[in-house]
Amino acid sequence: MIAVAALVGAAEPGSRLGTEEELRSQCGVSVGTFNEALRLLQSRGLVTVKPGPGGGLFSAEQSPMVRLGNSVLALDAQQSDVANAVRIRDALDPLLIEDALWHASPADISGLKEHITAMETAVGTADPVAFVHANWRLHAAIAAISPNALLSTPTCWTSSRPTR
C-alpha cells in the first residue's frame, strides 16, 4: 500500500489514481489487505472513491484540518515529538477549557468530574498508567464539549493516546 500512498502524495488533488482493481494488482496484495488500506487512506482524507463509468480512486483535496491531523499522526514516538505535542496542547489548553466551560451542560460538567475523580483515584493507588489514561480521557472530553472545530480538533487531544 506504500505504492498507493506514494502515488497519492505525488498526485494533484482530484487526479484519478486508477480503479481499485488496477491499484490492488499494482500493489500485489489481497483484496482484504487492499480494502483495509483503502479504508485507512479514506479515513485520513487522502483519497476519495467515485463509482460508475470514469470512477475509481482519486487523490483528495485536503482541508487544512486534515493536513494538520495527518501531520500529527505522522509524528513518530521520538521523545522530541511527544514533548512538542504536549507543549502545543499545554499552550492551547486554556483557550479550549474556557470555550468548553462556556458551552458545557450540567451533564458535561458531571462527566469531567468523573474523569478528575479517576485521576485522583489513580494518584491514591499510585497507578501512573491509570492516571495518564484518565488524563487523556479528560482532555478528550473537554475537546468534545467545545463547539470550536479548529480548537478542538488537534490530534493531541483526540487520538494517538492510550485507551483503556
Stronger pLDDT, 128 or 9, i.e. the higher one: 128
Euclidean distance between CA atoms 49 and 43, whole angstroms: 12
Domain parsing of the chain, residue ranges: 2-59, 76-158
CA distances from 163 to 11, 36, 86, 94, 135 (A): 35, 22, 17, 24, 11
Task: State which fold the 2-59 domain adopts.
Answer: Arc Repressor Mutant, subunit A (1.10.10)
The pLDDT-based confidence of 161 (bands split at 50, 70, 90) is very low
Question: Residue 39 has what pLDDT?
Answer: 83
CA distances from 84 to 72, 81, 94 (A): 10, 5, 17
Mean pLDDT of the chain: 78
Question: Residue 67 has what pLDDT?
Answer: 60
Other beta carbons less than 10 A from residue 100's beta carbon: 22
Question: Residue 130 has what pLDDT?
Answer: 86
Answer yes or no: is pLDDT of 159 > 50: no
Question: Residue 110 has what pLDDT?
Answer: 94
Question: Residue 114 has what pLDDT?
Answer: 95
Answer yes or no: is pLDDT of 144 > 60: yes
List, for residues 104-118, the tens digit of each pLDDT value. 999 999 999 999 999
List, for residues 11-58, the tens digit of each pLDDT value. 788 888 888 888 888 888 888 888 888 887 887 777 888 888 888 888
Task: Provide the sign of the torsion angle of the four alpha carbons 146, 150, 151, 155, taken in this order.
Answer: positive
